[in-house]
Every structure is written in structure tokens, then in C-alpha cells.
């Protein structure tokens, strides 16, 4: 059995859609970071997205754990022309509603769809499992990334997956057992 401990990066405090923009994380809550690090397996390697908010969070909780190279396939969803905009700033509100209410193949202009995000993350996870069979892994990533994996573990539709909260610095622990994911816990704040 393999376990992946998904960690959502520290907060950016942005009130807009943040995908591939490289905003820093607020890592000033050192007590929360220490509790988070202590709650993770001591011998698990740590990997993160290549965006600084995830990479800095991974560095802050890694401690003596082995740090794996950043993986750009663990980036947040690419929001394209909607990047760093509030929902009410999107010109084509009908398109935005379709994107959020029926996630799947609909993408923001110049961005990626839910299915494209899921495929990208699934490929990264498959590489991790192949490189570290039967091991625990700590993966620091983003809201959408974690939801793609929770969707599989809970057999949710994309719309149902969007209804889940994934707080900053929370743990979502998923177990890989013989070809399928099971959720041990999600959105847990140590």
C-alpha cells in the first residue's frame, strides 16, 4: 500500500482565481507549520509543485525528510485569461457559469479544463507511485490538484468534488490499494 499525504500550500490571501501565477505563500504561522510537519510520516519524501507558494510550504515542513525535485505537473489549474480575476470580473459570465457548474471539458479562454488538469495530475501521481512503490509520500500542491485526487478516492463527479473544502495547510491522506484510491481523511488541520 502507498499513501500520499496531500498538503495544500500556505495561504496567498488573494481574492482572485490564482492558478499558474507565482504568488508567495504566507508562512508566518510557524506553530501550524510545526504541527503539520509533526503529523506527517518521518521517512516520507516530500515533493511539491514548482510554484513558489507550494515549494516554500514544502521546504517549511520537510524537516529531515528527503526533498524531491519540484514537479510542474502538480501546478494548480491554468485559468488562462481568467487568471487573477474575481468571478465578477469575467466578461463572459455564461461561460464562467458553465465552467463551474459543469466542470469537465469546458476551459477558460487560454486555460485548461478540469479533465486536462486531472490527466496532468494523474500522470504525475503515476510517476510518483512507480518511483516510490509502497512508500509514503508528502505532496504539497494546490486546491484543484488535491480535489482531482479526492474525486477519484470518493468516486465523485467533478461538480461534487468542487463542493469540498481544502483549507490551506490541511492534510488529505489517500491510500493506494491494489489499483484504487481510498480517502483516509481529508481537509484535516493538525
Spacing of C-alpha 177 from chain mean position? 21
Domain positions in the chain are 2-188
Query: What is the pLDDT at residue 142?
Result: 98
**If DSSP codes are grouped into helix, strand and coil, which group holds residue 126?**
helix
CATH superfamily of 2-188: Phosphoglycerate mutase-like (3.40.50.1240)
- Burial (CB < 10 A; 0-12, 13-18, 19+), residue 182, is middle
pLDDT tens column, 19-59: 999 999 999 999 999 999 999 999 999 999 999 999 999 99
155-159: long-range pairs with CB below 8 Å, 24+: 158/103, 158/104, 158/114, 158/115, 158/118, 159/101, 159/102, 159/103
Q: How far is CA 23 from the centre of its chain?
A: 15
Predicted TM-score of the model (pTM): 0.96
CA distance 51 to 141: 9
**Rounded percentage of the chain residues whose pLDDT exceeds 90:** 96
- Average confidence (pLDDT) over 3-30: 97
The DSSP line for 51-62 is SHHHHHHHHHHH
Mean pLDDT of the chain: 96
Residue 178 banded pLDDT, cuts 50, 70, 90: confident
- At residue 109, the pLDDT reads 98
Say if residues 80 and 110 touch (Cβ distance below 8 Å): yes
How sure is the predictor about 162, in pLDDT bands with cuts at 50, 70 and 90? confident
Element (H, E) at 34: helix 30-38
Amino acid at each position: 500500500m502507498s499513501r500520499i499525504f496531500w498538503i495544500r500550500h500556505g495561504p496567498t490571501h488573494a481574492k482572485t482565481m490564482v492558478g499558474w501565477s507565482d504568488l508567495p505563500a504566507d508562512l508566518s504561522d510557524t506553530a501550524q507549520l510545526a504541527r503539520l510537519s509533526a503529523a506527517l510520516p518521518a521517512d516520507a519524501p516530500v515533493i511539491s509543485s514548482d510554484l513558489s507558494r507550494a515549494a516554500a510550504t514544502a521546504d517549511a515542513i520537510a524537516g529531515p525528510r528527503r526533498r524531491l525535485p519540484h514537479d510542474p505537473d502538480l501546478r494548480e489549474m491554468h485559468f488562462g485569461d481568467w487568471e487573477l480575476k474575481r468571478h465578477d470580473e469575467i466578461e463572459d459570465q455564461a461561460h464562467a457559469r458553465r465552467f463551474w457548474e459543469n466542470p469537465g471539458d469546458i476551459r477558460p479562454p487560454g486555460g485548461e479544463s478540469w479533465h486536462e488538469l486531472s490527466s496532468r495530475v494523474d500522470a504525475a501521481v503515476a510517476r510518483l507511485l512507480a518511483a516510490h512503490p509502497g512508500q509514503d509520500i508528502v505532496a504539497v500542491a494546490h486546491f484543484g490538484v488535491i480535489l482531482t485526487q479526492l474525486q477519484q478516492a470518493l468516486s465523485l463527479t467533478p461538480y461534487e468534488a468542487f463542493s469540498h473544502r481544502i483549507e490551506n495547510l490541511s492534510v488529505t491522506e489517500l491510500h493506494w490499494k491494489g489499483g484504487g484510491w481510498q480517502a483516509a481523511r481529508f481537509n484535516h488541520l493538525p
